[in-house]
Amino acid sequence: MLGTLVNAAAIAGAGLAGLARVPDLPFPWQRRLSTGVGVLTLALGFHVVIQAAARVPGNALRVVGLAGLAFFLGRWTGGMLRLQQRLNRLGQFSSRQLTDPGAAHAPPVGSEVFAAATVVFCLSPLAVVGPVLEGLGGDSRALGLKAVMDGLAALSLARTRGGGVALAALPVLALQGTLTLALRLAQVPLARFQGDDLLCATAGLTLLPVALVVLQVVRVRLADYLPALLWAPALGWWFRLD
């Protein structure tokens, strides 16, 4: 759970720094840092896929092929369920509470700010993909990258919206920690048909559109890809890679 602990600590620490009026990084440095995170996310995605495939000697191509199939089936399923549109409604609530210019001059309501910040930090693709990689492979790098982005956001938001932003570290710890522990327990049954490696490979593919959004290359409906993480073990069990 190292990645989740680092993520929660980054939100809490940056939120407290924002309350203490610590200034934001200069905008050019923010842009460089964001670009660096995007490039590292892209590289991590490819590395995770290659690493997962290499753990299944003789079936590497099947792992990559099934991961790709899960990726596209997940995108289709997410689009059918309109996951991104549903999350956008929560995002609109968060935007009103945290970034609306009029709200910044109003007295912040702690519970609403806490709820809005929780949406921002918990309902991102990395909040799911990160625990998958950490729970199944002990890889906390995705959550480390999320910690950087969440920390920058918490520093800026806490300055105007108050301590509810820092408290959002608690649901992040609860959600991501629970997912990590659950996947760690599920690793043994998944490993019987290489479902753990297939799930890691699919998670790596899911990092690629995240990187494109961070780099501002293209706008992607990221939440629509999350069902791929359910398709991956289902396909692994059906085709039995062993």
Q: What is the pLDDT of residues 152-207, one digit of tens each?
A: 999 988 888 888 899 999 999 999 999 999 999 999 999 888 889 999 999 999 99
Question: What's the chain's Rg over C-alpha atoms?
Answer: 18
Higher pLDDT, 103 or 174: 174
The distance of Cα 92 from the centroid of its chain, to the nearest Å, equals: 19
Instruction: Give the mean model confidence (pLDDT) for residues 94-108.
Output: 58
Eight-class DSSP state of 225: G
Instruction: Give the mean model confidence (pLDDT) for residues 59-80.
Output: 93
> pLDDT grade, residue 142 (50/70/90)?
very high
Alpha-helix runs per DSSP H in 82-140: 83-98, 101-104, 110-122, 126-137
The dihedral of CA 151, 24, 117, 11: what is its sign?
positive
**pTM, full prediction:** 0.88
> pLDDT grade, residue 116 (50/70/90)?
confident
Instruction: Give the mean model confidence (pLDDT) for residues 49-78.
Output: 91
pLDDT of 110: 64
Listed by start position, the domains of the chain span 2-239
Which residues are within 8 A (CB) of 14 and not within 5 positions of it... i.e. 6 or more apart? 150, 151, 152, 153, 154, 155, 158, 166
Most confident of 21-30, 120-129, 202-211, 216-225: 202-211
- Tell me the DSSP string of 142-184: HHHHHHHHHHHHHHHHHHHH-THHHHTHHHHHHHHHHHHHHHH
Phi and psi of 217, rounded to 5°?
-80, -40
> pLDDT grade, residue 106 (50/70/90)?
low
Distances (CA, A) of 154 to 54, 127, 196, 213: 38, 16, 33, 19
